[in-house]
Amino acid sequence: MNSGLMGIVVTALIALVGTVASVLTARQANHRLRQEHDDEMARLKLDAAMRAGELFSASENGSADPAAIASGLLALTRLGHPDLAVALLVNLWSQTGKEAHEDDERVAHETAVLVIDAALRFTAKPNAQLVAAELLCRNAHRLNSCQSLHWPSVIDGGWDQHFGDKTKLLLIDALILMTLTHPSTEDALRSIAVRLYGIWHGDECLRVRGCVGRLVGAVVPALKQLGYTDFIQGNQRVMLAQLEAAAASGTNNPDGYLDRMVDDRCKKLQSWAIVCKQAEVADTRLATAI
């Protein structure tokens, strides 16, 4: 190889090394800028979360304003801290039971359910989902199954089969307790039927399907008496034939204690549902059909 050609090769190699070095330097700079941007966004979110927390501070009359509390809780969910929001909700959502007066509530039921919904969607922290399910079950008797804002939209006719086992049982029990607390109406019957079907359809676990299938079977006879063939709840449309198929899949649970509890819920649901009569449509809102 003559010296001229050697010079060309060496020059090309030097240029290539320079280009590679420039690319690597640019990548490192971009990575550093992205990291700085992420750190700044995290700092801003933390600062915003701390400011949201200030909304829970007591006012001059000794208690925090309910509107400020609601704003703070919902702000935390939007800032990516639904786990903190639901943890705060444990103490903020009144625990005085049926005796509590609506005017005494520090957090409205609708706000509480929105926080619980956000926590149930927070798959990164299963413990936040468990706390949300526990809180929903604890206060289920204060909610109305015919009010769409009284039930988390994430499980309104749908389901996440990746919930923990205890979370699943708490949510199912919350749905049943909420339903049984109020009189058996056509709206409530349609609501629980489709919500139970959403759980059955969305979970591949045979044990869950077996238990929920039995619960669906407890309300199917009453649904047949109403004479309808399709039902809508949330974003789900369910046919009577699908509900009957779910009911037919009902099985006893190998866990005897759990099976006794499911049997108890089935009997209560059946007694509740069988007295349901068709609603007087003149006194019923159109939205209750969905």
Query: pLDDT (tens digit, 9 = 90+) per residue, 44-57?
Result: 555 555 555 555 55
Q: Is the pLDDT of residue 289 over 50?
A: yes
Question: Within this chain, do residues 84 and 216 fall inside the same structural domain, yes or no?
Answer: no
Strand runs labelled E in 77-155: none
Domain span at 68: 48-132
Distance CA 220, CA 46 (A): 49
Distance CA 156, CA 159 (A): 8
| 13 lies in some domain | no
pLDDT band of residue 97 (cuts 50, 70, 90) is very low
* pLDDT at 286 > cutoff 80: no
pLDDT tens by residue, 202-256: 999 999 999 999 999 999 999 998 888 888 766 678 899 999 999 999 999 999 9
228 shares a domain with 147: yes
Task: Please identify, among 102, 132, 162, the residue that sits at the C-terminal boundary of a domain.
Answer: 132
Asked if residue 158 and residue 200 are part of one domain, the reply reads yes
| Whether residues 211 and 112 fall in one domain | no
The terminus-to-terminus CA distance of the chain in angstroms comes to 84
- Per the domain annotation, does 2 fall within a domain? no
pLDDT number for residue 271: 95
Q: Considering the domain boundaries, does residue 79 fall inside one?
A: yes
Q: How many CA atoms lie within 13 A of 68 on its CB side?
A: 12
Distance CA 97, CA 100 (A): 6
State which of 97, 132, 167 marks the end of a domain: 132
Domain annotation covers residue 28: no
The whole-number average pLDDT for the span 96-110 is: 65
Instruction: Please check whether residues 239 and 113 belong to one and the same domain.
Output: no
**Tens-digit pLDDT profile for residues 42-91:** 555 555 555 555 555 555 555 667 777 888 888 888 888 898 899 889 88
pLDDT of residue 227: 85
Could you give the percent of the chain with pLDDT greater than 90?
A: 48
Query: What DSSP element (H or E) covers 239?
Result: strand 236-239
**Residue type (1 letter), 246:** A
Per-residue pLDDT band for 136 (boundaries 50, 70, 90) equals: very high
Total tally of structural domains belonging to the chain: 2
User: Residue 189: what residue type?
Assistant: L
Check whether residue 252 and residue 195 sit in a common domain.
Answer: yes
CA distance 251 to 213: 7
The pTM is what?
A: 0.77
